[in-house]
Amino acid sequence: MSNSNHTPGREWRRAPARRRVWLFCFLATLAVSAAQAATRVEVRDASIALDDGVYELDARLDLSVPGGARRAIDAGLTLRLNYQIEIGRVRRYLPDPEVASIVQSFELSYHALSQRYLVRNLNTGEQFDHGSLDAALERVAEVRGLPLIDSSLLEPGPTYEFRVRAEIDMRTAPDALNWLLFWTDDWSAISEWYAWTHRP
Amino acid sequence: MDAPSLKRAASAVVIGFGGLLWLAAILFMAQTAQNSEQFSRLHPWILMINVAGLVVLVGLLATKLGQLVRDWRGHVIGSRLKARMVWIFGVLATLPILLVYFFAVQFLNRGIDSWFNVEIRQSLDDALVLSRSALETRMREQLESTEAIADELSMVGGPTPGPLERLRRQAGALELIVSTESGAVIAVSKGPSSEVVPDEVPSEVLLQVRQGRPFVSLEPQAEGGYVVRTAVPLSGAASGRGRMVLQAIYPVAERLGALADTVQAAYQQFGEKDFLRKPLKASFILTLTVVLLLSLLAAWYGAIFTAQRLVQPIQDLVKGTRAVAQGDLDLRLPLTSHDEMGFLVHSFNDMTRRLRRAREDQQSAQQAAETERANLAIILARLSTGVVSLEPDLRVRTANRAASMILGEDLEGCVGNRFAEVGSADGLLRQFSEACRARIAAGDVEWREQFTFQGGMGRRVLMCACTPLPREDEAAGGYVLVFDDITVMLQAQREAAWGEVARRLAHEIKNPLTPIRLSAERMRHKLLPSMNEKDAQLLDRGTETIVQQVEAMKEMVNAFSEYARAPRFEMARVNLNQLLTEVTDLYRAQATGRGVALKVSLDPSLSSVSADPGRLRQLLHNLLTNAVEALEGQPGGEISVTTRLGARGAEEVAEITVEDNGPGFQRELIGQVFDPYVTTKARGTGLGLAIVRKIVEEHGGHVEADNRAQGGARVRIELPLNESMQGQAVQRDARRPEPRRERA
């Protein structure tokens, strides 16, 4: 005979609570896995420098490309990384007018014959090859001395806001099949705007 | 527009808009698949529209199916037919869709799998390996060439420009760069096709060479083609610079590069598609499934909608039929279509309209018949003629009030009883029913006959006619008896006849009586003294007899004259009790002398009546004379005179009853005792009771004569206390003598 004072009714009440804990853990694991599995991109830092009358951008990204996307690149899909840069004049009471807008695009693909990862600057046509995907990602995650705007276009006195964000998109060679990637949405990502002001 | 029409119109608009949106989404999805930029922008919306359509359809379908199940369970009219039609339509729509879906999925799987056939994959892999092997042989040779250059440079004492340029040309390299292990360029030799500013030695090259391993790689060029990059360590001991790195870049033959590009492009595209095979299949199947589900749900919803549209007129017809069965003929079914079902609904509406018109006509006819019947009932009720209708089995069907009054019993309360059993035994009603029943039982269904019955109130003469009532099957539908009490009429006719006789007697007989008497007296006066005693005695007896008979005839003629004389009323308030007392006092001595006891019992509550006291006195004289004469010679004779305040219907009457314990009326004459010249006395004129009845009727009263149960005669007189009744009778009788006098 058991001298335990717990009753079947109490057990019955405990069972759903236990199930709820397990369910919470399962959902949390799923959420963490999903967060880890998804492609992430953030602007770690960005700044401008005046060089020979031209404002140039230095920016660095934190890139996280999951295994699925890596396998997709190795299989032949192309990863596109766009730097979207906007320059606007800051006004107190009126809407801020946009002064300039630049998009710097890179494509990263795998060359199976040479077993090299190719990084192609779509704006300049330059191409770099790397022996590993990480080296190639490292290459596209950093921009140095990207010319933005001539200093003469920015009036001295007013404050200007510079904003940078990055967008990753997985593309296929035939665009007709690109819509399939909709179903694997973890391959696309877009960062928050990284903004700072500058007064010439 | 009414609310249901608005609801239907709104539903049609919403469904139509949703359907168009969904169709547009499907078509747009197919079109945007060719344009990736548009597709990526619009695809979420397209998918959302499809999913929303799916959810809406599921909701609508669930609602409709739930309603259908509720109708089925509730045994709603038409629910079973609707469910059967939905099932048939749904199955007919589902089977082809499922078949198409099955074969489409099979086709997709097999088709896509066939694109990525293993043999193709293997061929591409082999081509890639082959290409790579061909290039690697070239790369190895060029690495060896670079190592030879490095050895020679070590021997000549370092990377001086002269030997470097010579060695580059000998090796056929595009570019030779000597750098430190950290990447600083020491010497460069470039061919004419190379860039003016040489690239830095990549860090990964430096890293590998620092580790003591030569570096060689095939590098695709942005503008197309390939180069082979090689790097080897270079000893700097001879020049005193330490370890260095020699990088050499060799061109790849254009033809070989083009072939390699072809293989690379094919391999990349195949790899890309092979990688996308599963998502491709999943996407196709998912899209197909979404479209199929939408189509399937739309088909089921369409099946329910169509079944509803088809069943609705049938439901309306069933409801209409039930309404008509319950008598509601005002129902009009909505005409929803102009096909055969619409024709049926139109016919139903036409039928109900005709039925309603027929019912209205019937109601009008019935109302007219009811009115006629009510009028007939009123006429029958007011009719003085008795009307009795009998069932074929001789049960009383109807009887009017006059029948009850004539027959003296409540015949209206005997409806449904057998005609032979109605009324009291020996009553007038029973005699009447037996007489009629005997005629009908004899097979005589249409006849007219005068019946004479003996009732407690005297002789009654009824004129009766019988007619069979027709029926639809022409069998006897019963009988109707129409009868009238003609006793009074016959009495009046007799009275009129006797009055005429009396007047003629008075006129024709009375006039010669006086000359006869005078002639007899004169003959006696003239001849008697001259005649012998014997003749004188004869003449005296003869003339005496003549005179006596003439006197007797004169009295008789006077009596006739009195009977026929026109009444001259002198109406006054008469205390009936006092009048009776006076008259009976006159007869008390006479009666006592004859051994007859005269008892008088008067009701003190009896008020005075309006009457001619002289006529009333004569009436009493006649009655008392008759009673005294009836008791003549009978020991223990007794005459009783009684007054009482009574009622006849709603009228108050004064009752005078004169009874004796004599022999009474002869039974066969009891109905004629008030007729003139009906008497059982040897010396009576037979006018006593006739005059009594005449006086009573002149006063608006009623007289009856019958025999007492214990023996003796009884005459009962009712005189109305209401002056108006008397007045009417007096006026009626006052008008009567005028033509008599004219005729006289």
Task: Tell me, yes or no, if B271 comes closer than 8 A to chain A by beta carbon.
Answer: yes
Q: Find chain B residues with C-beta within 8 A of A123's C-beta.
A: none
B463-516 pLDDT tens trace: 999 998 877 665 558 889 999 988 878 877 877 787 777 777 777 777 788 888
Q: Find chain B residues with C-beta within 8 A of A117's C-beta.
A: none
Question: When comparing pLDDT for B644 and B594, which is higher?
Answer: B644
Q: Find chain A residues with C-beta within 8 A of B40's C-beta.
A: 178-179, 182
Structure confidence at residue B39 as a pLDDT band (50, 70, 90): low
Q: Find chain A residues with C-beta within 8 A of B34's C-beta.
A: 175-176
- Residue B123: inside a domain, yes or no? no
Length of chain B: 744
Q: How far apart are the first and last CA of chain A?
A: 87
pLDDT value at B182 more than 60: yes
B268, B277, B286: which to substitute to probe chain A, counting the most A Cβ within 10 Å?
Answer: B268
In this prediction, residue B685 carries a pLDDT of 67
Q: What is the DSSP annotation of B88-134?
A: HHHHHHHHHHHHHHHHHHHHHHHHHHHHT-HHHHHHHHHHHHHHHHH
Do residues B603 and B718 share a domain?
Answer: yes
A143, B584, B619 from B658: Cα distances, Å: 157, 11, 11
Q: Find chain B residues with C-beta within 8 A of A126's C-beta.
A: 222
B137-150 pLDDT tens trace: 889 999 999 999 88
| Mean pLDDT, range B274-299, rounded to an integer | 79
Do residues B600 and B727 share a domain?
Answer: yes
- Residue B405: inside a domain, yes or no? yes
Task: Tell me, yes or no, if B50 comes closer than 8 A to chain A by beta carbon.
Answer: no
Do residues B521 and B478 share a domain?
Answer: no
Cβ contact, residue pair A131, B217, below 8 Å: yes
Cβ contact, residue pair B268, A112, below 8 Å: yes
B39, B51, B208, B275: which to substitute to probe chain A, counting the most A Cβ within 10 Å?
Answer: B275
Q: Which of B485, B519, B537 represents a domain boundary (last residue)?
A: B485
| Mean pLDDT, range B216-239, rounded to an integer | 83
Measured between CA atoms, how close is A101 to chain B, in angstroms?
A: 20
Cβ contact, residue pair A116, B219, below 8 Å: yes
Cβ contact, residue pair B286, A183, below 8 Å: yes
pLDDT value at A166 more than 90: yes
A92, A97, B339 from A193: Cα distances, Å: 20, 17, 67
Task: Tell me, yes or no, if B39 comes closer than 8 A to chain A by beta carbon.
Answer: yes
Q: Find chain A residues with C-beta within 8 A of B219's C-beta.
A: 114, 116, 129
Tell me how far the alpha carbon of residue B440 is from its chain's centroid.
46
- Residue B342: inside a domain, yes or no? no
A90, B213, B358 from A198: Cα distances, Å: 10, 49, 99
Helices (H), chain A: 8-37, 67-75, 133-140
The residues in B 127-156 lying below 8 A from A, measured between CB atoms, are 128, 131-132, 135
Q: Report the distance separating Cα B112 and Cα A173, nearest Å.
A: 18
Q: Find chain B residues with C-beta within 8 A of A184's C-beta.
A: 279
Tokens for B491, please give them: 């009495």
How many Cβ atoms from other residues are within 10 Å of residue B631's Cβ?
Answer: 23
Cβ contact, residue pair B220, A126, below 8 Å: no
| Mean pLDDT, range B444-449, rounded to an integer | 86
Q: Which of B231, B246, B270 represents a domain boundary (last residue)?
A: B270
| Mean pLDDT, range B312-331, rounded to an integer | 84
B164, B234, B383, B444, B451 from B151: Cα distances, Å: 12, 8, 162, 165, 175
Do residues B614 and B736 share a domain?
Answer: yes
In this prediction, residue A31 carries a pLDDT of 53
How many Cβ atoms from other residues are within 10 Å of residue B708's Cβ?
Answer: 14
β-sheet bridge partners, residue B454: B459
**Cα nearest neighbour of A185 on chain B:** B40
How many Cβ atoms from other residues are within 10 Å of residue B362's Cβ?
Answer: 10
Structure confidence at residue B615 as a pLDDT band (50, 70, 90): confident
**Cα nearest neighbour of A184 on chain B:** B279
Structure confidence at residue B212 as a pLDDT band (50, 70, 90): confident
Measured between CA atoms, how close is B243 to chain A, in angstroms?
A: 24
| Mean pLDDT, range B194-220, rounded to an integer | 81
- Residue B601: inside a domain, yes or no? yes
In this prediction, residue B40 carries a pLDDT of 55
Q: Find chain B residues with C-beta within 8 A of A183's C-beta.
A: 279, 282-283, 286
Measured between CA atoms, how close is A48 to chain B, in angstroms?
A: 25
Question: When comparing pLDDT for B213 and B475, which is higher?
Answer: B213
Rounded to 5°, the CA angle B228-B231-B233 comes to: 165
Query: Among A112, A114, A177, whose Cβ lies nearest the Cβ of B276?
Result: A177
Do residues B656 and B720 share a domain?
Answer: yes
- Residue B212: inside a domain, yes or no? yes
A114, A181, A186, A190: which to substitute to probe chain B, counting the most B Cβ within 10 Å?
Answer: A114
Structure confidence at residue A12 as a pLDDT band (50, 70, 90): very low
**Cα nearest neighbour of B267 on chain A:** A112
In this prediction, residue A57 carries a pLDDT of 94
Q: Find chain B residues with C-beta within 8 A of A131's C-beta.
A: 204, 217
**Cα nearest neighbour of B133 on chain A:** A113
Pick the most confident of B25-29, B650-654, B685-689, B740-744. Answer: B650-654
| Mean pLDDT, range B643-660, rounded to an integer | 87
pLDDT value at B236 more than 80: no
pLDDT value at A83 more than 90: yes
% of chain A at pLDDT higher than 90: 46
**Cα nearest neighbour of B279 on chain A:** A180
Do residues B518 and B433 share a domain?
Answer: no
β-sheet bridge partners, residue B188: B177
**Cα nearest neighbour of A119 on chain B:** B222
Q: Provide the pairing of β-strand B596-601 with B637-648.
A: parallel
B128, B197, B272, B278: which to substitute to probe chain A, counting the most A Cβ within 10 Å?
Answer: B272
- Residue B373: inside a domain, yes or no? no
Domain tally, chain B: 5
Do residues B585 and B630 share a domain?
Answer: yes
What phi, psi does A147 have (nearest 5°)?
-65, 130
Q: Report the distance separating Cα A148 and Cα A103, nearest Å.
A: 10
**Cα nearest neighbour of B29 on chain A:** A179
Q: Report the distance separating Cα B392 and Cα B437, nearest Å.
A: 12
Q: Report the distance separating Cα B434 and Cα B421, nearest Å.
A: 9
Task: Tell me, yes or no, if B226 comes closer than 8 A to chain A by beta carbon.
Answer: yes
Measured between CA atoms, how close is B136 to chain A, in angstroms?
A: 10
Structure confidence at residue B315 as a pLDDT band (50, 70, 90): confident
Measured between CA atoms, how close is A15 to chain B, in angstroms?
A: 34
Measured between CA atoms, how close is B129 to chain A, in angstroms?
A: 8
Q: Find chain B residues with C-beta within 8 A of A109's C-beta.
A: 268
Domain boundaries, chain A: 1-37, 39-198
Order of all β-strands in the sheet with B244-251: B185-190, B175-180, B244-251, B226-234, B215-220
Flag whether the pTM goes above 0.80.
no
Nearest to A74 by CA among A41, A105, A108, A106: A108
**Cα nearest neighbour of B257 on chain A:** A113
In this prediction, residue B683 carries a pLDDT of 64
- Residue B376: inside a domain, yes or no? no
% of chain B at pLDDT higher than 70: 89
Nearest to B314 by CA among B283, B291, B336, B288: B336
Tokens for B646, please give them: 């009574």
Q: Report the distance separating Cα B705 and Cα B454, nearest Å.
A: 12
Structure confidence at residue B393 as a pLDDT band (50, 70, 90): confident
A interface residues, B as partner, C-beta within 8 Å: 71-72, 75-77, 109-114, 116, 118, 120, 125-127, 129-131, 135, 171-184
Q: Report the distance separating Cα B722 and Cα B648, nearest Å.
A: 11
Do residues B582 and B673 share a domain?
Answer: yes
Residue type for B134, please?
A: A
Structure confidence at residue B238 as a pLDDT band (50, 70, 90): low
Q: Find chain A residues with C-beta within 8 A of B282's C-beta.
A: 183
Task: Tell me, yes or no, if B28 comes closer than 8 A to chain A by beta carbon.
Answer: no
CA dihedral B453, B454, B458, B459 (to 10 degrees): 40
Pick the most confident of A23-37, B464-478, B643-657. Answer: B643-657
ipTM of the complex: 0.71
B689-714 pLDDT tens trace: 888 888 888 888 888 888 888 889 99
Nearest to B454 by CA among B488, B492, B426, B494: B426
Q: Find chain B residues with C-beta within 8 A of A130's C-beta.
A: 204
Q: Tell me, letter by letter, the H, E, C secondary structure of A82-139.
A: EEEEEEEECCCCCCCCEEEEEEEEEEEEEECCCCEEEEEECCCCCEEEECCHHHHHHH
In this prediction, residue A189 carries a pLDDT of 87
CB B79 within 8 A of CB B307: no
Do residues B472 and B550 share a domain?
Answer: no
Task: Tell me, yes or no, if B266 comes closer than 8 A to chain A by beta carbon.
Answer: no
pLDDT value at A8 more than 60: no
| A–B interface: beta-carbon pairs under 8 A | 101
In this prediction, residue A138 carries a pLDDT of 92
Task: Tell me, yes or no, if B94 comes closer than 8 A to chain A by beta carbon.
Answer: no
Q: Which of B562, B587, B616 represents a domain boundary (last residue)?
A: B562
The three-class DSSP label of residue B596 is strand
Structure confidence at residue A174 as a pLDDT band (50, 70, 90): low
Cβ contact, residue pair B220, A118, below 8 Å: yes
Tokens for B556, please give them: 């008789």
- Residue B598: inside a domain, yes or no? yes
Do residues B703 and B594 share a domain?
Answer: yes
Nearest to A196 by CA among A146, A164, A162: A162
B67-100 pLDDT tens trace: 888 988 888 878 888 888 888 888 888 888 888 8
Structure confidence at residue B20 as a pLDDT band (50, 70, 90): confident
β-sheet bridge partners, residue B485: B462
> How would you class B468 by CB atoms within 10 Å of its CB: exposed for 0-12, middle for 13-18, buried for 19 or more?
middle
What residues make up the domain containing B558? 499-562
Do residues B203 and B265 share a domain?
Answer: yes
Cβ contact, residue pair B283, A135, below 8 Å: no
| Mean pLDDT, range B424-430, rounded to an integer | 83
CATH number at residue B443: 3.30.450.20
Do residues B174 and B245 share a domain?
Answer: yes
In this prediction, residue A101 carries a pLDDT of 93
Measured between CA atoms, how close is B193 to chain A, in angstroms?
A: 18
In this prediction, residue B657 carries a pLDDT of 94
Task: Tell me, yes or no, if B220 comes closer than 8 A to chain A by beta carbon.
Answer: yes
pLDDT value at B221 more than 80: yes
Cβ contact, residue pair A179, B218, below 8 Å: no
B659-694 pLDDT tens trace: 999 888 887 777 778 877 777 776 666 778 888 888
Identify the weakest region by mean pLDDT among A26-30, B52-56, B288-292, B430-434: A26-30
**Cα nearest neighbour of A173 on chain B:** B269
In this prediction, residue B510 carries a pLDDT of 77
Tokens for B239, please give them: 């020049």
Task: Tell me, yes or no, if B283 comes closer than 8 A to chain A by beta carbon.
Answer: yes
